[in-house]
Amino acid sequence: MSAATATDVRDLLVELVETPSVSGDEDECAERLLAFFQEHGREAFTDEVGNVHAPADDGVLLTSHLDTVPGEVPIRIEQTEAGEPALWGRGSVDAKGPLAAMAVAAVETGASFLGVVGEETDSRGARHVVATRDAPEAVINGEPSGWDAVTLGYRGILTATYEVETESAHAAGPEKNAVEAALSWYDRIEESVATTAGDVFERVTCKPRAVDGGSTDDGMGVTATMDVEFRIPPDETVESVREAVSEATAAGSLSFSEGIEPVTASPRTPVARAFRVAIREAGGEPSLLRKTGTSDMNLFAEAWACPMVTYGPGDSALDHTPNEHLVLSELDRASEVLTTATEQLLNP
């Protein structure tokens, strides 16, 4: 097996960012990853849903996602205001920086690798894997945490779709139409479900994601549909939020996504300890994070009883933004930390 180098991780990142992979269209990105592993003497293949597997030592599974959200960020390498060279482009932070670092670390250490699809939408890749693959001994999930921090917790997620129809009436009259009914429904569920105690990670929050409404085709009624996303802290569950929303819904129809449970990993596992040691060896002071969003780590933790953390280069505040970029020196340091931590876990 040939050794991957620091140049490899930068080159691979550029190639991955130059390869569009919006959720549902990850095939070309998967082909590039397959080629990378084959160039370095590793077996690699894709499964039925498009995940990339490079199986090896299951003492550690290094995994990140191939897909990005939509939106074009012009790809270029230029200096930041601080004078650091950085790569701009959709996915540079979320999560092709972590993905490139995971792939290179897998080659350097002999750890197993998994690149999943659909993380930004329905997590179909991770759902397929936990249903078809045996649990590894440890998981390092790739998402931006910053090179000197690891993420131990994520909130869960649930999406509700509310639909309502009313008879048409004159707009000048007092009767509420379906659009007003949908807005009133949101106010009710926000009051009954959302909590304000503690920091954001410890609270249930909700946010409308889409609203559509208007006259029916025959002009005899008014319809409205609203999609609302709930983020769920560790002391709640998908079912508890689903029940609260259902109880606050008196009329109309209501449907839910499958949902993903929250997760909080222990800071005292061998994986967390390996990262603290590796970050200190690289000159950093490790931080432990809890994220207000959701990741595939939630699904891995629910299905697999093994220690895990999430780690990767990049500032998560840049996720999904028009200013998404990754400082290349951070990629280098994260790749070094990831390789060191993985080697410690495989060779205790």
CA distance 229 to 158: 6
Q: Which residues contact 188 (CB under 8 A, 6 or more apart)?
A: 248, 249
What is the number of residues in the chain?
Answer: 348
Query: Within 13 Å, how many C-alpha atoms sit on residue 300's CB side?
Result: 31
CA distance 258 to 179: 26
Active-site residue numbers? 67, 119
Residue 203: CB atoms within 10 A of its CB come to: 18
CB 224 within 8 A of CB 181: yes
CB 165 within 8 A of CB 222: yes
CA distance 122 to 29: 18
CA 252 to chain centre: 32
> β-pairing, 287-291 with 149-154?
parallel
CA distance 253 to 243: 14
Which backbone phi and psi does 244 adopt, to 5 degrees? -65, -40
DSSP-assigned beta bridge partners for residue 161: 227, 255
Positive or negative: CA dihedral 137, 142, 148, 149: negative
Positive or negative: CA dihedral 343, 34, 38, 332: negative
Buried (b) or exposed (e) across 60-69, using 16+ Cβ within 10 A? Answer: bbbbbbbbbe
CA distances from 208 to 170, 177, 212, 228, 320 (A): 27, 19, 11, 4, 18
> β-pairing, 52-54 with 111-116?
antiparallel
3-state class (DSSP) for residue 273: helix
